[in-house]
Amino acid sequence: MRNSNPYAYLMHMKDAAEAVIAYATANDFEHFETDNWDQAAAIRNLEIIGEAATNISSEFRKEHDTIPRQDIIDFRNVAIHDYMEVDTNIIWDIIKNDIPPLIEQLNVLLEKNDN
């Protein structure tokens, strides 16, 4: 049964995003580009972020529109369905430029839930 609590999905997104950052922090792009395990782990966690984003209700999304949900879902679809086309430069760019602000946005929403 699908969980109706949007904060559970936000927490899944945050956990996966933090895991992705851990891969990037431990390595540089040259390592990432040649390490299939790190690539697979990063892509899998990006897929989890996208899957969790798809499960957040439209009502919650309307009230909290700070997360670029459609971009996240679009990437997830490419990663799953067009996995042969996933470019490590794009993945690295997402990790370095998109994931840190996403974590900040998720933290804000999760803190609102704690209060």
DSSP 55: T
Q: 46-58: per-residue pLDDT in tens?
A: 989 999 988 988 8
DSSP code, position 27? S
Cβ count near 91 (within 10 Å): 22
By annotation, the residues acting in catalysis are 76, 81
d(CA 76, CA 81): 8
Per-residue pLDDT of 93-105, as tens digits, reads: 889 998 999 999 9
Which pLDDT value is given to residue 30?
93
Other Cβ atoms less than 10 A from the Cβ of 28: the count is 10
With 0-12 / 13-18 / 19 or more C-beta atoms within 10 angstroms meaning exposed / middle / buried, residue 42 is buried
Q: 14: pLDDT confidence band, cut at 50, 70 and 90? A: very high
Ordered by where they begin, the domains of the chain are 6-114 (1.20.120)
User: Rounded to two decimals, what is the model's pTM?
Assistant: 0.85
Please report which confidence band the pLDDT of residue 83 belongs to, taking 50, 70 and 90 as the band edges. Answer: low
Alpha-carbon gap, residue 23 to 43, rounded angstroms: 11
pLDDT tens column, 20-29: 999 888 889 9
